[in-house]
């Protein structure tokens, strides 16, 4: 089976791998059938084409990369070895660090110990290809991190415990150890080693079992247990060294990987997908950038995908639904060449941080779904996971899948909960402008009830199984069974040698399987005829006897008997062949259910899915799939749940009728309908046909109304409809009516499904039923097409990963309409299809609940797991307010007196200010929900926390601040120290010098807290646009405060030092212009000066160009032209230090025409 070049733009003819001169179609078929022009298969680019491509264009870097990738994808060796092997990096050196001052810190060496014990117990270590960890070089780390930050981390090797703790306390939820730097370099290097091995074709996939985690780490900033961002470094490394153009990063850790997102949010070459706990911003890291509304910036818009969970207890069904509806459609369109997974297992049930209810089996399914991407080039890098048992079993489950083991059955899959459906819908709507594959036709949502005459499926509450289910992994003697018997070729049309249902069909398939060495890799099982008892489970005794009688009929009688049925010919061998075909399917069922093989292929004829209980139809005599399903239920001794997927281009009318009242068999058919004019014609294949009686809802028809349906349409149906229903049904066995007349070049189907497309459809179904899946040949009448298509499916069943698809066009609008029609019909029966419009979308993301993260806690291990209450939430114009006080100087839980009421007026409208997200206060219980937009930050209103909304640039992407009322914290969740633990000094007018917005406290510049706003005109001047009001009014307000001695004003204490001061460049005094507009948009409203390159850009409240400049350049420190405050992006804090006085003084001189008072 040939792969297809990534950048092929023209349709090429497919030739046989072993005979390049073979004709495109079988001559015996093409001479008699009208094949749609242009419906020709594609092939790999040959060497001449690739060379010609290189000569016709100037070899720019992009063209050169295309040429290299084209050469890599050439099918140079028809007998190429199938890539196998799973790499594993596990190094004991990674356990040589821990928290010196807190032995109970969750990120500890015991995590890797537990994983190792589990892998040894299950025998997985010996099955993997072991790789030695290596250290990441500085040059490699610099692909993501700044040299200054790396150098700072390197110095931690020589620090004392006290120095390490002081430095760690400047970051959020981290600790440092003398070995932290060495181990983190080793962890990053471990992932890079696997990148080399996977892209160098040493192995097909791999897992790095490493610590510390990395996905929170930013360019110059530690965060959330993370120092260096392993996955981000690996992505850049793959792009630079291996010239990989497209990388998919999937982050399923329960915490949002903000570090990874910020690294790539302007880069369309890296698709970042994160599914994480959010709870309207109350869960760490408390960033608005973690919500579904953040989709990337500039050229990277649409390449950041966030699926935020807004409640705890999310289950496997919720995660799988997000993958099916969002990730897989986008990923198939994006076509990654490498998939990296930030594999945190803190969403597993029992994890103290995540509080979710996913299972190890669920993560096995997620891994399986990802293995169909990038030609199977998949690397998992361990992130979080803090319940040792859950962590070990989650890692083990994913590793089983990487090794090719089947997915375990899900204990209770069900359907996504309403909260998950709402999150998925919002994410879909945010991404629709960028991904046409996600666009859904307009629907009319409908609530279903018993009044509709439909038995409504009961909504489930949060699922809490008593114990964590342990996946079971079958011990297989062999993987794929194969049934074929040449005797089935004796059924033939003795009147028309050109009939499409020719004996050559199965012969050509078997020859091709043998040529590719696939038949040798399968277990060939002996074929037996179906017994009469087996046939009678689906057919009447009279009909069986009627067919048996044809064995003794004369030629004329046979012709007359065939004419009594629809599209049937009969010969003396017909009964025997039909009996063998059905018996072969039953034999394969026996082998699969007994564990003799995992899955199987039945190369049989005549086909069977049109055969009715008492009538032959459409080349079919006995319904092999239906009889096999009943045989499986008989063997199991119960009404085994069986999924039958019929992808033959013709509707399987016989199968539908046999099971239409049986809820134990879910029948799903995708077929050409053409509004009832395509065989077998009539309305039996319409989407409105849903079954009857107890089987209502268990017949699902996707009715195509035209030709040229291809991979894009079938994958869309799989992602939106087939797999969601299948996972909700949770079958114990999957049977496929595998007709290949929807394949490219088929004379009857007129469609365009590729062999690679069939491989992907098969791979996706293999996650169901514990991997027990059987493909039974139905139709397909182009001998080349059916041979290549069946071979592609057999590859998949054998565990060979599907090749990358050719660039997918968007699904046809007519096909999408067919899918949507079926979804609307079946939404009343299947909750997994109810991804519909959310009435109050703003409630999932608005300022009512989205907030900014709390400051550094005295005990860092508590910060990452803490959840903030939903009430009393404010938006602030900074990402993190940081106190310079030590833990000893701050008293957690202290009460802060009510802030003074100082009127700051502003001439901007409420609408404009609100759009810039200043201080939007949710209505509090104390005020009966009537609070103004901007309230006084009193103890009663804010739970004892005072905010400092300054003009300053906040760090990234609308990050905002969460308040925590002290009384609401549990014993386990120690409240965060107050934002303003130090500033409790009454201010008098004598303290005010220079710019009235900057106060002098004890020799240090302190920025004022914004006061209570009394009306629409009293919006925060700085955060809402920076337009100064009369200084007299502000000064008078402070005078009144001092005179009455009522109230106290508080200020944020800036950091006295930060590690990024070393990058401040000498001040170019002559070139500073405080009136200079933003270099990107020309605004004069609120601008900032970069202290590394001295370029000027606007605030995040204008057009966020300084934020974008920081992301692109990594320059950490910026100075406000409004109030001369200095903000550090990596530290997420204001900084005041001697090294900044020169630039502040020069700026002050330019702004006010005099030296800055007290420049110390």
Under DSSP, is residue 1087 helix (H, G, I), strand (E, B) or coil? Answer: strand
DSSP label at residue 490: G
d(CA 346, CA 254): 6
d(CA 643, CA 1094): 65
DSSP label at residue 97: -
- Is 79 exposed, middle or buried (CB count within 10 Å of its CB: 0-12, 13-18, 19+)? exposed
d(CA 403, CA 396): 10
d(CA 331, CA 102): 42
Q: How far is CA 910 from the centre of its chain?
A: 38
d(CA 257, CA 237): 19
d(CA 192, CA 362): 27
For 70, 205, 244, 655, the CA distances from 202, given in Å and listed in that order, are 20, 9, 17, 45
| 216 flagged as catalytic | yes
Residue 794's contacts (CB-CB under 8 Å, 6 or more residues apart) are: 480, 482, 513, 518, 522, 601
d(CA 441, CA 245): 32
Phi and psi at residue 511, to the nearest 5°: -60, -40
> Does an H or E element contain 662, and which?
none
d(CA 565, CA 608): 14
Which candidate in 215, 216, 368, 1115 is catalytic?
Answer: 216
Per-residue burial over 992-1024, b if 16 or more Cβ lie within 10 Å, else e, is: bebbbbbbbbeeebbbbbbbbbeebebbbbbbb
Phi and psi at residue 1097, to the nearest 5°: -140, 165
The tokens of 204 are what? 């097909």
Given the DSSP bridges, would you call strands 129-131 and 1004-1008 parallel, antiparallel or unpaired?
Answer: unpaired
Edge-to-edge strand ranges of the sheet holding 1126-1128: 1096-1098, 1087-1090, 1117-1120, 1126-1128, 1133-1134
Which candidate in 177, 610, 719, 1110 is catalytic?
Answer: 610
Residue 482's contacts (CB-CB under 8 Å, 6 or more residues apart) are: 513, 519, 522, 523, 524, 525, 600, 601, 603, 794
Q: Give the number of C-alpha atoms closer than 13 A to the C-alpha of residue 701, restricted to the C-beta side.
A: 28
Cβ pair 820, 440 in contact under 8 A: yes
Cβ pair 1089, 1147 in contact under 8 A: yes
d(CA 640, CA 596): 19
Give the other-Cβ count within 10 Å of 570's Cβ.
27
Residue 197's contacts (CB-CB under 8 Å, 6 or more residues apart) are: 87, 129, 131, 203, 206
| 286 flagged as catalytic | no
**The CA-based dihedral angle spanning residues 274, 239, 1117, 912, taken in that order and rounded to the nearest 10 degrees:** -50
Which residues participate in catalysis according to the annotation? 216, 610
């Amino acid at each position: 089976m040939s792969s297809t070049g990534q950048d092929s733009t023209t349709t090429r003819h497919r030739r046989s791998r072993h005979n390049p001169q073979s004709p495109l179609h079988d001559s015996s078929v093409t001479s008699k059938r009208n094949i749609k022009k242009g419906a020709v298969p594609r092939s790999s680019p040959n060497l001449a084409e690739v060379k010609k491509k290189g000569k016709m264009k100037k070899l720019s870097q992009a063209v050169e990369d295309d040429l290299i990738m084209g050469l890599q994808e050439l099918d140079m060796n028809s007998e190429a070895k199938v890539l196998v092997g799973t790499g594993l990096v596990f190094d004991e050196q990674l356990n040589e660090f821990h928290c010196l001052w807190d032995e109970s810190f969750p990120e500890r060496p015991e995590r890797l110990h537990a994983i190792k014990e589990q892998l040894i117990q299950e025998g997985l270590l010996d099955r993997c290809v072991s790789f030695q960890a290596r250290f990441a070089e500085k040059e490699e780390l610099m692909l993501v991190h700044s040299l200054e930050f790396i150098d700072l981390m390197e110095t931690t090797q020589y620090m004392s415990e006290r120095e390490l703790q002081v430095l760690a306390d400047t970051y959020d939820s981290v600790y440092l150890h003398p070995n932290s730097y060495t181990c983190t370099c080793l962890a990053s290097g471990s992932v890079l080693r696997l990148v080399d091995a996977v892209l160098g074709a040493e192995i097909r996939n791999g897992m790095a079992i490493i610590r510390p985690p990395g996905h929170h780490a930013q360019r110059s900033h530690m965060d959330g247990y993370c120092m260096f961002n392993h996955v981000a470094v690996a992505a850049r490394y793959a792009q630079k060294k291996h010239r990989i153009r497209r990388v998919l990063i999937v982050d399923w850790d329960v915490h949002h990987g903000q570090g990874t997102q910020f690294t790539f949010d302007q880069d369309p070459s890296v698709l970042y997908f994160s599914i994480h706990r959010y709870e309207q911003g109350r869960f760490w890291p408390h960033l608005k950038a973690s919500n579904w509304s953040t989709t990337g910036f500039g050229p990277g818009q649409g390449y950041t995908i966030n699926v935020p969970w807004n409640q705890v207890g999310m289950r496997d069904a919720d995660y799988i639904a997000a993958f099916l509806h969002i990730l897989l459609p986008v990923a198939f369109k994006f076509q990654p060449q490498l998939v990296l997974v930030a594999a945190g297992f803190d969403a597993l049930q029992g994890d103290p941080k995540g509080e979710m209810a996913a299972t190890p089996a669920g993560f096995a399914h997620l891994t399986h779904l990802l293995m169909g991407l990038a030609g199977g080039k998949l690397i998992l890098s361990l992130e979080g996971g803090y319940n040792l048992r859950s962590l070990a079993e989650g890692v083990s489950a994913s590793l089983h899948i990487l090794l090719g083991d089947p997915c375990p059955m899900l204990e209770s899959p069900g359907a996504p909960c309403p909260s998950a459906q709402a999150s998925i819908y919002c994410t879909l709507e945010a991404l629709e402008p960028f991904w046409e594959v996600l666009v859904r036709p307009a629907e009319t949502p409908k609530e279903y009830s018993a009044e509709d005459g439909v038995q409504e499926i009961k909504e489930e509450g949060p699922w809490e199984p008593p114990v964590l289910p342990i996946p079971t992994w079958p011990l297989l003697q062999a993987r794929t069974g194969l049934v074929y018997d040449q005797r089935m070729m004796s059924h033939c049309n003795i009147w028309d040698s050109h009939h499409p249902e020719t004996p050559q069909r199965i012969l050509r398939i078997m020859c091709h399987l043998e040529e590719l060495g696939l038949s040798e890799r399968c277990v060939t099982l002996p074929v037996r005829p179906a017994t009469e008892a087996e046939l009678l489970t689906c057919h009447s005794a009279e009909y069986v006897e009627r067919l048996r009688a044809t064995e003794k009929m004369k030629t004329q009688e046979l012709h007359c008997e065939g004419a009594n049925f629809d599209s049937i010919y009969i010969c003396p061998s017909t009964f025997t062949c039909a009996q063998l075909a059905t018996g072969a399917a039953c034999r394969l069922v026996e082998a699969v259910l007994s564990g003799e093989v995992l899955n199987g292929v039945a190369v049989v004829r005549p086909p069977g899915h049109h055969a009715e209980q008492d009538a032959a139809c459409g080349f079919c005599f006995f319904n092999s799939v239906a009889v096999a399903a009943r045989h499986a239920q008989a063997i199991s001794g119960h009404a085994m749940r069986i999924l039958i997927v019929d992808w033959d281009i013709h509707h399987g009318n016989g199968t539908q009728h046999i099971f239409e009242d049986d809820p134990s068999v879910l029948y799903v058919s995708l077929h050409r309908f053409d509004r009832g004019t395509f065989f077998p014609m009539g309305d039996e294949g319409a989407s409105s046909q849903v079954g009857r009686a107890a089987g209502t809802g268990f017949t699902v028809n996707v009715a195509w109304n035209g030709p040229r349906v291809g991979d894009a349409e079938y994958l869309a149906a799989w992602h939106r409809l087939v797999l969601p229903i299948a996972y909700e049904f949770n079958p114990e066995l999957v049977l496929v009516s595998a007709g290949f007349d929807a394949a490219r070049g088929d004379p009857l189907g007129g469609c365009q499904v590729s062999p690679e497309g069939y491989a992907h459809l098969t791979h996706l179904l293999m996650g169901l039923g514990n991997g027990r899946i059987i493909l039974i040949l139905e139709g397909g009448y182009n001998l080349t097409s059916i041979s290549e298509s069946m071979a592609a499916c057999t590859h998949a069943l054998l565990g060979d990963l599907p090749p990358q698809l050719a660039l997918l066009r968007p699904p046809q609008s007519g096909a999408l309409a067919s899918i949507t029609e079926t979804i609307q019909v079946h939404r009343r029966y299947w909750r997994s299809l109810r991804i519909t419009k959310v009435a109050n979308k703003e409630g999932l993301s608005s300022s009512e609940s989205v907030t900014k993260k709390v400051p550094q806690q005295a005990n860092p291990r508590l910060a990452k797991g803490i959840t903030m209450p939903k009430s009393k939430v404010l938006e602030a114009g900074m990402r993190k307010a940081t106190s310079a006080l030590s833990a000893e100087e701050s008293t957690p839980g202290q009460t802060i007196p009510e802030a003074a009421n100082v009127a700051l007026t502003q001439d901007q409208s409420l609408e404009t200010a609100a759009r810039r997200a200043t201080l939007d206060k949710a209505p509090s219980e104390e005020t009966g929900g009537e609070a103004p937009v901007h309230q006084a930050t009193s103890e009663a209103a804010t739970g004892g926390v005072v905010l400092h909304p300054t003009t300053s640039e906040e760090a990234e992407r609308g990050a905002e601040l969460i308040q925590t009322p002290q009384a609401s914290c549990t014993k386990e969740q120690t409240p965060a120290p107050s934002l303003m633990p130090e500033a409790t000094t009454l201010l008098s007018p004598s303290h005010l010098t220079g710019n009235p917005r900057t106060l002098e406290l004890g020799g240090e510049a302190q920025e004022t807290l914004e006061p209570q706003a009394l009306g629409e005109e009293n919006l925060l001047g700085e955060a809402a646009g920076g337009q100064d009001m009369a200084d007299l009014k502000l000064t008078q307000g402070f005078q009144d405060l001092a005179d009455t001695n009522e109230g106290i004003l508080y200020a944020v204490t800036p950091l006295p030092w930060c590690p990024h001061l070393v990058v401040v460049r000498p001040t170019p005094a002559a070139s500073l212009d405080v009136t200079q507009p933003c270099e990107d948009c020309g605004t004069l409203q609120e601008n900032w000066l970069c202290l590394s390159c001295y370029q000027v850009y606007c605030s995040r409240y204008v057009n966020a160009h300084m934020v974008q400049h920081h992301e692109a350049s990594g320059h950490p420190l910026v100075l406000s032209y409004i109030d001369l405050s200095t903000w550090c992006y990596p530290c997420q804090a204001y900084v005041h230090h001697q090294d900044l006085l020169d630039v502040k003084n020069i700026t002050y001189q330019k702004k006010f025409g005099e030296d800055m008072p007290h420049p110390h």
